[in-house]
Amino acid sequence: MSAVLITGASRGIGAATARLFAQEGWDVAVNYNQSERAAQELVRELTELGVRACAIRADVADPAQAAALVEQAVRELGGLDALVCNAGVALSQQLLTDTTDEQWRRVFAANVDGMFYTIRAAAPYFVRQKAGRIITLSSVWGMTGGSCEVAYSASKGAVIAMTKALAKELGPSGITANCVAPGVIATDMNAHLDEESLNALRQETPLERIGTPEDVARAILFLAGPGGQFLTGQVLQPNGGIYM
């Protein structure tokens, strides 16, 4: 049985991904930072599917906590076959000149530093076993840039660049590294958008709908499964065609 560690998995895309992996028979380590109740409830739901699951609290922006997270996931699941770096934050839309130093660092700490620390901890384990799947989460704004989204766009662009570099570095050890860059998805991160804004985004999207966490989860599972075995350094875009 395969095992996966998903960061930021207590809600939204992370939780949907945990459910889908468990439905496919994967053991799952659910990482969370603050939402303990949601994480524990999700673990109970996953274990009812007959897989091993555990909730592990860690702030991945802290290198020591990220390293301990990977170590505990390997110990509790008996191994690790895939790592999904989903944890991240966003700011409300604002001008670059209104973005404070603290806000800039908080976005990069969660979206870039946390990914770096977690992968750095997991990579030696994958190298030793000569196999592993690393899937990172970026955004359409990491590819196109978003007006009044400078910090978020920059951090998600860094995620893509880091993933491509990892694919080259880790490929000879049998490890793939790919990125999923969703479009507009119905999650808490976009809950601030009013109906008028959502309708405008629907009209911009060729498939004429807002994406769901499950749409993204299916892309992540594909990259972790047999279909992703000869894919590395790629950016898969579940975005309904809003960017091509």
Residue pLDDT, tens place only, 26-58: 999 999 999 999 999 999 999 999 999 999 999
Q: Give the separation between CA 34 and CA 79, rounded to whole angstroms.
A: 25
Select from 63, 56, 23 the least CA-distant residue to 39.
Answer: 56
Select from 17, 3, 2, 10 the least CA-distant residue to 137.
Answer: 17
Q: Give the separation between CA 100 and CA 155, rounded to whole angstroms.
A: 15
The active-site residue out of 32, 125, 152, 243 is 152
Q: Domain extents for the chain?
A: 3-185+213-236
**pLDDT score of 117 more than 70:** yes
For residue 177, the cross-strand partners are: 134
Top-level class of domain 3-185+213-236: alpha beta
- 1: pLDDT confidence band, cut at 50, 70 and 90? confident
Q: Give the separation between CA 170 and CA 60, rounded to whole angstroms.
A: 21
Helix (H/G/I), strand (E/B), else coil: 148: coil
Single-letter code of the amino acid located at 140 = V
pLDDT at 201: 83
- Residue pair 66/121 in contact by the 8 Å Cβ criterion: yes
CA 82 to chain centre: 12
Is 152 a known active-site residue?
yes
**pLDDT score of 10 more than 70:** yes
Cα angle for residues 182, 47, 223 (degrees, 5° grid)? 30
Residues 58-72: pLDDT tens digits? 999 999 999 999 999
Phi, psi of 30 (to 5 degrees): -95, 110
pTM of the model: 0.95
Phi, psi of 88 (to 5 degrees): -175, 170
